[in-house]
Structure 1
Amino acid sequence: MYELKERDKIIVFTGPDGSGRKSVAEAVGQTFGMEKVISYVTRPPRPGEVNGQDYHFITHEDYREMDDQGGFLESVEIDGDFYGIRSLDIEEKLNQHDSVYLILNHQGASILKSIYSDKVIRLFLYADRRTVEDREQKLGLPADVIIKHLSHYDLEMSYRNACEHSFENYDLGQTTYEITNTLERYLQRDLVDKD
């Protein structure tokens, strides 16, 4: 397995679907110049998702083949679809940068924490159930997908206290600012005005 360097950090954005993980992660990643590690998934793209940018969308057959070859560091099944992260993707990005970020559910976040220990910083984002539902409707997600996501809401919320930090996310700018301040302590990029 790849030997992480002293400064290497793996930032994991987690929380319920509709909590704004993607928007916040992208804003924070851009602020710090962090590379995103993209998961592989067997479900079709949802409205607004782009292959190779949000996920690598692949068939069940391709996923199984990669998994059989030991390609995935973590692999989880959610509602009949598989999600996985390749260790090779993490290692390649950490070879070029000292920090990377991922957007994962609680299962993926737990697996990464168990493998990489204190190099993983889990940031839990959340909003109330009604807000999450409204956001997903505005994204144009089908009703059955929203219902599935809401059925996982309480389980995802129960992971909050296991994470290193948690943030209520109702305002993208404010949440991004709070997370940037928090991550500055770990990443020491001198981006935040200390006055």
Structure 2
Amino acid sequence: MYELKDRDKIIVFTGPDGSGRKSVAEAVGQTFGMEKVISFVTRPPRPGEVNGQDYHFITHEAYREMEQNSEFLESVEISGNFYGIRGLDIEENLYQNGCVYLIMNHEGANILKKIYGDKVIRLFLYADRRTVEERERKLGLAEEVIAAHLGHYDVEMGYRGSCEHAFENYDLGQTTYEITNTLEIYFQRDLIDKD
């Protein structure tokens, strides 16, 4: 098992579906050269999602086998589908890079916070309900999927006060800039003024 170092950080992007967490997370991840830890999921890919890049899409049977082997640190069921994060994936990435990021709902974010404590920095992204709905329609999601997401909206929004930081996300560039500045404080990359 990997022994966490003082400087290791686990950045969790959370918030309602349609809040733009994925777009912001990828932009921030690129800025800092962070690796994404990819969840395993039993649902089929949505329009534009790529296996091994957005999620590892697996069968219910394969998921159950991994669960029986205690591979998942975190496993949640949402609308009849299972989502899980392997502890090994987090620890291998931390060992190699010292920092990782994940995109999760509030249940997963809570579980990681309990396991890793102050190593986890939860960044809550949000937009109003109408904007979230419009974004999901533009993605081409089925009406029942959008309805299910909107059904979770208030519960996800209720998690905002539990997170270390919250960002209203209407402009990708601005939100990425704000989060990058916030994370600089945590990373303290030894930026020394040599004047």
Report the TM-score, using the length of structure 1 for normalisation. 0.96
**Amino acid of the structure 2 residue aligned with 1:27:** A
Report the counterpart of residue 13 of structure 1 in structure 2. 13
Which consecutive aligned stretches of 4+ in structure 1 deviate over 3 angstroms post-superposition? none
User: AA paired with 1:108?
Assistant: G
* Structure 2 unmatched runs, 5+: none
What amino acid maps onto 1:46 in structure 2?
A: R
Match of 2:112 in 1: 112
Separation in structure 2 between the aligned mates of residue 75 and residue 5 of structure 1, nearest angstrom: 25
Find the counterpart in structure 1 of residue 74 from structure 2. Answer: 74
Distance in 2 of aligned mates of 1:137 and 1:190: 43
Secondary structure (helix, strand or coil) at the match of 1:109 reads: helix
The answer as to whether partners of 2:34 and 2:99 remain within 8 angstroms in 1 is yes
2:189 aligns to what? 189
Q: How many residues align?
A: 191
Q: Secondary structure at the match of 1:152?
A: helix
Matched position secondary structure for 1:137:
helix
Separation in structure 2 between the aligned mates of residue 112 and residue 79 of structure 1, nearest angstrom = 21
- Matched with 2:27 is 27
1:91-133 CA distances to partner (integer Å, 9 max, x unpaired)? 1101100110000000000000000000000000000000000
| TM-score calculated relative to the size of structure 2 | 0.96
What SS does the corresponding residue of 2:136 show, helix, strand or coil?
helix
Give the drift of 1:6.
1.1
Query: Aligned residues: percent identity?
Result: 81
Unpaired runs of at least 5, structure 1: none
Structure 2 counterparts to residues 86-105 of structure 1, below 5 A: 86-105=86-105
In 2: Cα distance, 1:190 partner to 1:153 partner: 39
Shift of 1:189: 3.0
Give the Cα separation in 1 of the matches to 2:190 and 2:24. 20
For residue 190 of structure 1, report the CA deviation from its aligned partner: 6.4
Contact 1:184 1:190 in 2 (8 A): no
CA contact (8 A) 2:2 2:95 kept: no
Matched-pair contact (CA < 8 Å) for 2:8–2:94: yes
Cross-structure match for 1:41: 41
